[in-house]
Structure 1
Amino acid sequence: MRHGFRQSMAWLHTWSGLIVGWVLFAVFVTGTASYYRAEISRWMQPELRREATIGPDALARAAELGVAHLQQHAAGARTWFIALPQPDRPLIDLFWRTKPGTPPGRAVLDARTGEPAALRETRGGDFFYRFHFELHLPPLWGRWIVGICAMIMLVALVSGVVTHRRIFADFFTLRRDKAAQRGWLDAHNVTGVLALPFHLMITYTGVVTLALIYMPWGVTVAYKGDQQAFFAESGQITQPRPAAGRPGALVPVGPMVREALATIPEPLERLTISHPRDAHATVVAVFEEPHGLSHEHPQIAFDGTSGAVLEVRRGGLQPAAKTFTTMVGLHEAHFAGPGLRLLFFLCGLMGSAMVATGLVLWTVARLPKEGRAPGLGWRLVHALNVGTVAGLPAAVAMMLLANRLLPAGLAGRAEWEVWAFFGTWLAVTLVALVPAPRRAWSGAMAFAAILFLAVAVADGLTTRALWDDPAWFLAFDAAMLALAAACALVARKVTRYVAPARGRRSPAEGRPMPAAQARTALQPVPAGREEAGRRFERA
């Protein structure tokens, strides 16, 4: 630290932020969208009809229909998952695992008939939710990458606080009329400081929620690699039962559903059936978590061959497990009502803006000197910045647009939507290598604005007849129009930006200069700060 502690922290903040900034921006954007995961899924399946309530008899019948389908199509699976219908999603979601290394199976059924639901195939909001912590990679790889980036994000946040000793003054400073570098730095400071408690909380809890993946050694040693025993002892799941190795017949699950609903007042979320054809078959009824910070699900375990209750978990977690589930609850914000969820969403947007302005600031501060062409490294970082900051929103809009334009019966339709997402993201990044920086930014943001506008238009033209709640769909389209306006405003600002004149007025040129201002005007200006704005404007 030969340059001093703060200077060392500034170096650490700059380079740690750049290395992971592109990943973190994608994580922040998709994580912010995940606060409205259910709403996005509903919009992407407009054929779905909501119901006011679903009674115990309807839930019991839906469970029986789900089991009948699984017995016919997934008889050899070792675990069945049955997501029961809810008022906002009156469908039966089936999921099963056969053995490690084989892809899982899935089916979506009509809750009344048990037949495959007549809905367009789509990943819905689940795509953004899974991308937020898996990056559309194999789960273990994706979670490790996101976890490493989140740890570096904590380093960047702490080093950023140390670097900005005028952090409270920066909270109220946004110099729009100054040079490009100064303006981007002010925007970075404001978006970082304004929601700093949220940034620290969401980053730390994001690391903690996957802590057992990053640091599994304690559980591995204490429980000899049996993580299920750890989760059961800490009170997070019911006690698992190993297979008996003898055949057994699964009794009807409808009575179990009715008994579970009579025992615990929370909404019943799903059934998990382990070893369905074994004498030790187990049916676990999992309920939604009660309102509160802790993300814990009450559960009731039944003997699958007799229907007898084996265990009831109403709560009562061990202190460490309670702390962990509270961290999960803080991160996912399931406890939040509409107002608080909107606040989380806005803080997520500020986090995205903080990362974006930091990435742009890195390139603006390193613009080549006048008369020199940008080097390959600078142009590559610039293209990645454009592709990330402008290309990712354009990719989100393209995925939503593909949901409305692709034929409803297209084979592999959900995968086509995902390809539209990644294809647009890659195309914007590659195109950003060609034009000058300012034209690349304005063109990419204008393209994103056009796509968001097209989403609202396509929704009204193609699915208006399917809307079960026109006001709700119009509100979603209004959000798309707001995003289009925001992207268009950025494109316009970049296009119309003119660097302010750098000459200093003397008293003879206008109003008299105050003495303090005159003394400041005589001081030399740091070469890099003002010149960076002029170079970016000329580009």
Structure 2
Amino acid sequence: MSNVSTPQPAAAEAAASAPSVKPLKPVKKAAKAPGLRQTMSDLHIWTGLLVGWILYAVFLTGTLAFFRDETSLYMRPELPAAQQREAAPVVAQRLADHILASSPNASQLSISLPTERNPTASAFARSAEGGRRGFSSATYDPATAEKLDARETRGGDFFYTFHFNLHYMPALWARWLVGLCAMFMLVAIVSGVITHKKIFTDFFTFRWGKGQRAWLDAHNALSVLGLPFHFMITWSGLITLMVLYMPWGLEHLPSQADRAAVTGEMRFFLPPARPAGTPAELVAINGLVEQAEARWGAGHVGAVQIANPGDANARIAIVRQQASRVSTTPNYLLFDGVSGDLTRAKDASGPVATTQGVLYGLHLGRFADPVLRWLYFLVSLAGTAMVGTGLVLWIVKRRAKLPDPDKPYFGFWLVERLNIGAIAGLSVAVPALFWANRLLPLELAERGNWEIHCFFIAWAGALAWAFVRPAKRAWVELLWLAAALLAALPLANFLLTDRNVLISLWTGDWVFAGFELTLLAFAAAHAWLAIRTLRHQPKAKPVRKTMAKPTAPKVARAEPATAEPAGEHA
């Protein structure tokens, strides 16, 4: 009997029916909610981006407005250079006599006396029968009280009014829009501080030429450099228009007289009193100015306002100069225009009005001496650069994530073009305003408005150029154009006026000399930016080397055991 293995049907059936074991899949964890810093980062990015273009324009024009008087003098080269000032009582009496003699029907007269920053005097007069249309203004030589013939221009006042009134739109709408942007700016400042936990460490760290890292370092440094200033200038800008943004308290006052009294606590306004109809000789102005200087100090009188001159109900207000104090609250002496008796001395206001006046004064910076004014200018310029680098950083961060940088999505393309138009375009528009001031015909009607039209035409042209040119070329071309316009302005001034930079330096005319040297410095800065942009080569994306995953050897699936013929294994 041969030794033949017998089949085991029970074991075979069990092996055949056993289910195959599959590896367990890892359980996915629930997505973690973003933390405070990540939330603040998102808030910082989007609040900055949505209003960044308006904020950049507001910051830049507000920065230029710190030299408002000097800009106005530069844009009127016919005016005399700074000279030794006479005593305020003498100048005030001379101007009042001359203007009232040439305008006998004036019902109101406001005379602004010369200051250290403005060697000329100016006056606004209102005719008794002219209504609002009876207003007239002129610039005078304080030494002779004669009118000065100078070109029509808005000068530095345009930059000052644009930074809170914008242009080509109702002032009320513009102030609401700028106020909304300022509120977004406050949110961006606070969220930015929370986001950067190493913000003060990063201030001392700058990685040059590191692409996105370099832009972030620049943004951090510019932010920390003037952080208290940026917060102050934004917050105080809102406070200056607090009655507009929160009018409910004022509206609930019982009468118009009460509302006028509250407004009078914050701003000086001499309402016109009803004339008595009885002729009377006006008291001498110089004695009243001397009384004001005895109270405030010599050189602190800024303006003289006269209501109803030549009438028995005449009044004269001697107003203190803004440059002699921080607060903008009213500070004046009110006299009877016939007897010369002091009827009111406004030396202080209530605590709320004083707080608002101090914040307003800090925002304007009119009290600043030349060194402090330059510090205001430089730190505010850093704030402008902070907004600009933040806008550029948004593009730099997202460009690295584009699947095809040559074919970006529409939102990226639009933001990039708006950045070019807002930043480089404004650098073209500002010198275009100065060029219009030098080249437009002096006899052109509404010449001052046409200067402003040229500013916006140049800005719109730069924006259009950004939309039709490749991004990098648009940056380089507009920056070179801005540099050329800025650098050529001193040359144009040399050819078209008698106040060139060499003569200004020789005669000690530091307003014109300083202005043109600053133009050359900004021209060099724009040329450097153009060269850096031209030479910049974005880093290529690193190619990820993918290694072939090791594959497990294929194992033949075991067939179920079956009974085999005995003869094959014999």
Report the TM-score, using the length of structure 1 for normalisation. 0.83
1:182 aligns with 2:221: no
Aligned to 1:252: 282
1:68-99 CA deviation, whole Å, 9 max, x = no partner? Answer: 44445xx4x6x543223446544442335689
Q: What's the CA shift for 1:42?
A: 1.6
Q: Which amino acid aligns with 1:432?
A: A
The 8 Å contact of residues 219 and 225 in structure 1, kept in 2 or not, is answered as: no
Please tell me whether the aligned partners of residues 91 and 113 of structure 2 are also in contact (alpha carbons under 8 angstroms): no
Matches within 5 A, 1:335-374: 335-367=367-399, 368-370=402-404, 373-374=407-408
Instruction: Note the 1:496-515 alignment, pairs <5 A.
Output: 496-500=535-539
Q: Is the 8 A contact 1:236 1:321 kept in 2?
A: no
- Establish whether residue 83 from structure 1 lines up as the match of residue 117 from structure 2: no
Q: 2:424 aligns with which of 387, 390, 394?
A: 390
| 1:484 shift after superposition | 0.3
CA pair 375-12 structure 1, distance change in 2 beyond 3 A? same
Instruction: Report the number of matched residues.
Output: 498
Matches within 5 A, 1:98-137: 105-111=136-142, 114-136=145-167, 137=169
Distance in 2, matches of 1:336 and 1:86, equals: 13
Match of 1:93 among 108, 122, 136: 122
SS in structure 2 of the partner of residue 388 of structure 1: helix
- Contact 1:270–1:285 under 8 Å retained in 2: yes
Instruction: Give the Cα–Cα distance (whole angstroms) in 2 for the partners of residues 425 and 201 of structure 1.
Output: 29
Q: Using a 3 Å threshold, how does the CA distance of structure 1 residues 277 and 148 change in structure 2: closer, same or farther? A: farther
C-alpha change, 1:102 and 1:357, in structure 2 (3 Å) is: farther
1:481 aligns with 2:511: no
> Is contact 1:288–1:297 with CA below 8 Å preserved after alignment?
no
| C-alpha distance in 2 between matches for 1:260 and 1:471 | 29
Offset of residue 330 of structure 1: 1.5
Q: Deviations over 1:132-188 (max 9, x none)?
A: 221134433332222221111101100111111221222123222323x33322221
Q: The residue matched to 1:285 in structure 2 has which SS? A: strand
User: Secondary structure at 1:131's aligned position in 2?
Assistant: helix
The offset of 1:332, in angstroms, is 1.7
Matched, 1:303 2:330: no
TM-aligned CA deviation for residue 471 of structure 1:
5.1
Q: 1:371 to 1:415 in 2, by over 3 A?
A: closer
Q: Unpaired runs of 5+ in structure 2?
A: 1-31, 544-570
Rounded Cα–Cα distance in structure 2 between residues aligned with 1:430 and 1:66: 49
Deviation at 1:290, TM superposition (A): 6.5
Aligned partners of 1:341 and 1:90: how far apart in 2?
18
Q: Deviation at 1:352?
A: 0.4
- Aligned AA (2:415): V
1:38 partnered with 2:77: no
Letter in structure 2 aligned against 1:94:
A
1:140 to 172, 176, 191: 172
The code of the aligned residue for 2:238 comes to V
Separation of aligned partners in 2, 1:363 and 1:88? 42
Deviations 1:214-254 (A, max 9, x none): 1122123236344331144x48648x66744753546436x
Partner residue, 1:526: none
- Amino acid in structure 2 at the alignment position of 1:13: H
Against the structure 1 CA distance between its residues 236 and 318, is the aligned structure 2 distance closer, same or farther, given a 3 Å change threshold?
farther
1:106 to 1:487, Cα distance in 2 relative to 1, 3 A: same
Greater Rg over alpha carbons, structure: 2
Aligned to 2:90: 57
Deviation at 1:32, TM superposition (A): 1.1
Cα distance, 1:277–1:386 mapped onto 2, change above 3 Å: farther
Contact 1:247 1:277 in 2 (8 A): no
Partner of residue 8, structure 2: none
Paired residues of 1:81 and 1:272 also in contact (CA < 8 A): yes
Once residues 189 and 129 of structure 1 are traced to their aligned partners in structure 2, the CA distance between those partners, rounded to angstroms, is 28
**Structure 2 equivalent of residue 491 of structure 1:** 530
Q: What amino acid does structure 2 have at the position aligned with 1:498?
A: Q
**Percent of aligned positions that are identical:** 41
CA distance in 2 between partners of 1:284 and 1:32 (Å):
32
CA contact (8 A) 2:275 2:314 kept: no
> Deviation at 1:309?
2.5
Q: Is the 8 A contact 2:203 2:224 kept in 1?
A: yes
One-letter code of the match for 2:529?
V
Change in Cα spacing, 1:402 to 1:206, as seen in structure 2 (3 Å) is same
- Any idea what SS the aligned residue of 1:433 has? helix
Deviates more, 1:370-379 or 1:380-389: 370-379
Q: Say whether residues 1:288 and 2:334 are aligned partners.
A: no
The CA deviation string for residues 247-266 of structure 1, in whole angstroms up to 9 with x for no partner, is 3546436x134323333334
Deviations 1:201-221 (A, max 9, x none): 111111112212211221232
Query: Is the counterpart of residue 400 in structure 1 residue 434 in structure 2?
Result: yes
Q: TM (normalized to structure 2)? A: 0.79
Q: Which residue type is aligned with residue 110 of structure 2?
A: F
The alignment yields a C-alpha RMSD, in angstroms, of: 3.1
Contact 1:241 1:280 survives alignment (8 Å)? no
Q: Which residue is equivalent to 1:379?
A: 413
Q: Which of the residues 26, 36, 47 maps onto 1:16?
A: 47
SS of residue in 2 equivalent to 1:58? helix
Residue 290 of structure 2 aligns to which amino acid in structure 1?
A: L
